[in-house]
Amino acid sequence: MAKQQSKLPEFAPLARDEISPALANSPCAACTVRQQSVCASLDDNELERLAAISRAMYVAAGSTIFNEGDPADYLFNVTDGVIKLYKLLADGREQVTGFLFPGDFIGLALKDSYSYSAEAISAVRLCKMKRSQFRDVLAVTPRLEHRLLSVASNELAQAQDQMLLLGRKTAREKIVSFFLQLAERRDKSRQAQINAGAELESSKFDEDVVELPMGRADIADYLGLTTETVSRTLTQLKTDGSIQLLDNHQVRLGGRESLREIAQGL
């Protein structure tokens, strides 16, 4: 579970303790996911307001961040690690509504209490804000509100894609769609880092290898399947050459175009 953290023995860039409210030594200024998150739209002045109400928070792999029904007093920005959001039925059936990666924001779809639970899949670093304070900042930061609306728009469109997947796709189509989602997500955040001037060792980077930070059970609960079906479908995809499984948490995709056709039912 702590596998993909081996490269990050510590979360290097940020101090582990309380964050200073002044921007000068605010972690936001050096935030590694600034360009990808809701903060991307803000100028220094505005960012300072957010920094003033943000606190870093560290969560170990496997632990719960909050549960559906808890009073929704805090919002979060994921800055490192992977999180799953999920809902439960009374008898324990689980639906994962999304996986969150660095740059993602938690707190759009909420009323007074959280409408889903959140659990850390890997070790996670979060930027935590009191909801009441966030609301105050929001009220005087129209650009932030605008940005949130656009984020919400995107999530809504994604949610609709997921409905199509859950309601109408076969197991095979679901799994392939999922891999393509992950690949596109990865591409996009890579691109954002490059645009921000980061130096990525583009040499030893394989375009077609996708990380699967989560286990089979989480994949199954995301796609409306069982672990057994996920497993069987993977070996089937492996057998017909659509993918290779490097290990349990890494797939190499064999040709995005043909995979895209599988995902659409062609």
One of 95, 138, 245, 258 touching DNA (CB under 7 A): 245
Q: Among a second copy, DNA, none, what does residue 161 contact (CB within 5–8 Å per kind)?
A: a second copy
CA 66 – CA 72 distance, rounded (Å): 9
Residues 49, 74: Cα–Cα separation, whole Å: 16
Residue bearing tokens 């990666």: 101
Among 248, 252, 255, 261, binds DNA (CB under 7 A): 248
CB 31 within 8 A of CB 39: yes
Beta bridge partners of 124: 59
Q: Between 161 and 206, whose beta carbon lies closer to a second copy?
A: 161
How many C-beta atoms lie closer than 10 Å to residue 156's C-beta?
A: 12
Tokens of 37: 């998150």
**Closest by alpha carbon to 83, among 56, 111, 60, 113?**
60
**Binding status of residue 231 toward DNA by CB under 7 A:** yes
Q: Say which DSSP state 87 is in.
A: E
How far, in Å, CA of 60 to CA of 75, rounded? 18
Residue of 40, 155, 215, 244 that binds DNA (CB under 7 A): 215
- Select the span of 7-15, 36-44, 219-227, 242-250 touching a second copy (CB under 8 A): 219-227
Applying CB under 7 A, does 170 fall inside the site for DNA? Answer: yes
- Residue 13 touching a second copy (CB under 8 A): no
Six token digits for residue 139 = 């009220």
Size of the site for a second copy (CB under 8 A): 40
**Contact partner, 230, from a second copy, DNA, none, Cβ < 5-8 Å per class:** DNA
**Applying CB under 7 A, which of residues 216, 254, 256, 258 lies at the interface with DNA?**
216
Binding mask 109-128 for a second copy (x = CB under 8 A): xxx---xx------------
Residues that bind DNA (CB under 7 A): 1-2, 170-172, 215-217, 224-232, 234-235, 245, 247-248
